[in-house]
Structure 1
Amino acid sequence: MKAIIYARVSSTTDRQTTDRQVADLKTYAEYAKMEVVKVFEEKVSGAKKNAERPVLVEALEYCRTEQIDMLLVSELSRLGRNAFEVLETVKGLVDDKINLYMQKEKFTLLNDEKQPSMFAPVMLATLSTCAQLERENIKFRLNSGRQQYIAKGGQLGRKTGSVKSIDKKKEEYKDVLKALRQGLSVRQVAKLTDTSASTVQRLKKEFHL
């Protein structure tokens, strides 16, 4: 059985990595006697639409074109910023007979006949809604904390001089910009220059490439 791994973290800095997700999913794949043929890793905000997650889009397309049997993710929330997006993604997998394993929920989407159980739609809707509510609660607490900080005289935002200038970005990411100008895809540039796909995507948009 062929499988791929999709791992995502929200921070685009080195503060978070996908290492643990990938390692845990590889362990599961070995236990379930699956062959992991490719690993897709992405650093992008959980608030982004799926269309703004280039690696996720690539992973889903790879599943379809390469006849992948199973998509492995750490949790259901990796597949969308809200319940509607998650369910849309899952529906696409069901239509294409691609199974899905979610480690946190310990749930597999399809049975041996590649059909979802009668309880799957209800469970998926409940899980994705709970994940969305959890994100909204976190956002509320963060905003509340910021407001209290400002009310006490605190200042938000970067320190003066901490924002990189265009010229500095051109110098620092010259290899990335050169590769983009050559017409390479975001994923190809990310691999070639050892830069995160989200950074490449941001530079592509910022420099209109």
Structure 2
Amino acid sequence: MNRICIFARVSTNVQDYERQVNELTALAQRNNWSVEAVFCEKVSGAKKNTERKELSRMVEYVQAHHINKVAVTELSRLGRDTLQVLEVIEQFNKLGISLFIQNYGIETLTESGEVNPMSQFLITILAEVARMERKQIRERCESGYKNFRANGGKVGRKVGYKKSDEAMREQYAEEIRLLRKGISLRNISKITHTSINTIRKCQSLIEK
């Protein structure tokens, strides 16, 4: 019998993940899968994996309890950032854990535990489409800000405001991790979509 974990996520506190859990529980019953644990979080899927406590707990759990499969209703429940999603899937692949995505009816591993190349290809495309949608939303917001400023509006931090070192380390934990691995500023910027100036500030934190 497959031993599985259910993972559900919603973006805001006013949303509820009960529907996701109920659908995946019913799916497990139909397939005779044993649900060993359920992990739910209310957090933006655009956040880095290191900032998502329930996701981290779930990854630790599946490693410690010999879980065969993790089930989500949609790939976006795992995350909206292409790099972050693929990072989690790669961890699962190495551990022999299959990710089941309900709305597409696909799994990342075959029954024999091998990586399913077709599902991996599809997942990469779907995750990239989600990333592009986020980028378009961000660009529309930036366009709105520019229009607001052009009409005399003021945006941004108050004069004299400076983010604390501790806040910087928490917000840019992934960038700092990559810097410590010796990855160049330009490549880190491409991976995380963080500006090179901000990454330089992160570099100065490491040197303190």
Q: How does 1:1-209 map to 2 (within 5 A)?
A: 1-11=2-12, 13=13, 15-142=14-141, 144=143
What secondary structure sits across from 1:119 in the alignment? helix
- Amino acid corresponding to residue 44 of structure 1 in structure 2: V
Structure 1 CA distance for aligned equivalents of residues 145 and 17 of structure 2: 28
Structure 1 CA distance for aligned equivalents of residues 123 and 142 of structure 2: 29
1:117 CA drift (Å): 2.2
User: Residue 33 and residue 146 in structure 1: after superposition, are their counterparts in 2 closer, same or farther (change >3 A)?
Assistant: farther
1:120 CA drift (Å): 3.0
> What TM-score comes out, normalization by structure 2 length?
0.66
Structure 1 CA distance for aligned equivalents of residues 28 and 154 of structure 2: 47
1:81 CA drift (Å): 3.7
User: Residue 153 and residue 9 in structure 1: after superposition, are their counterparts in 2 closer, same or farther (change >3 A)?
Assistant: farther
CA root-mean-square deviation: 2.4
- Amino acid corresponding to residue 7 of structure 1 in structure 2: A
Aligned length: 155
- Amino acid corresponding to residue 54 of structure 2 in structure 1: V
Q: Is contact 2:9–2:78 with CA below 8 Å preserved after alignment? A: no
What secondary structure sits across from 2:117 in the alignment? coil
- Runs of 4+ in structure 1 displaced over 6 angstroms? 146-156
The structure whose RCO (Cα within 8 Å, separation 6+) is larger is: 1
Q: Which runs of 5+ in 1 are unaligned?
A: 157-209
1:154 CA drift (Å): 9.3
1:85 CA drift (Å): 1.4
Q: Is contact 2:106–2:119 with CA below 8 Å preserved after alignment? A: no
1:118 CA drift (Å): 2.8
User: Residue 151 and residue 115 in structure 1: after superposition, are their counterparts in 2 closer, same or farther (change >3 A)?
Assistant: same
User: Residue 152 and residue 107 in structure 1: after superposition, are their counterparts in 2 closer, same or farther (change >3 A)?
Assistant: farther
Larger mean CA deviation between 111-120 and 55-64 belongs to 111-120
What secondary structure sits across from 2:47 in the alignment? coil
Q: Is contact 1:50–1:81 with CA below 8 Å preserved after alignment? A: no
Structure 2 CA distance for aligned equivalents of residues 20 and 145 of structure 1: 35
- Amino acid corresponding to residue 41 of structure 1 in structure 2: C
Q: Which residue of 2 aligns with 1:162?
A: none
Deviations 1:72-102 (A, max 9, x none): 1122223334211111111110110001101
Structure 2 CA distance for aligned equivalents of residues 101 and 18 of structure 1: 17
- Amino acid corresponding to residue 96 of structure 1 in structure 2: L
Q: Which residue of 2 aligns with 1:187?
A: none
1:148 CA drift (Å): 6.2
Deviations 1:22-62 (A, max 9, x none): 11111111111111121111011222100000000000110
Structure 2 CA distance for aligned equivalents of residues 53 and 114 of structure 1: 27
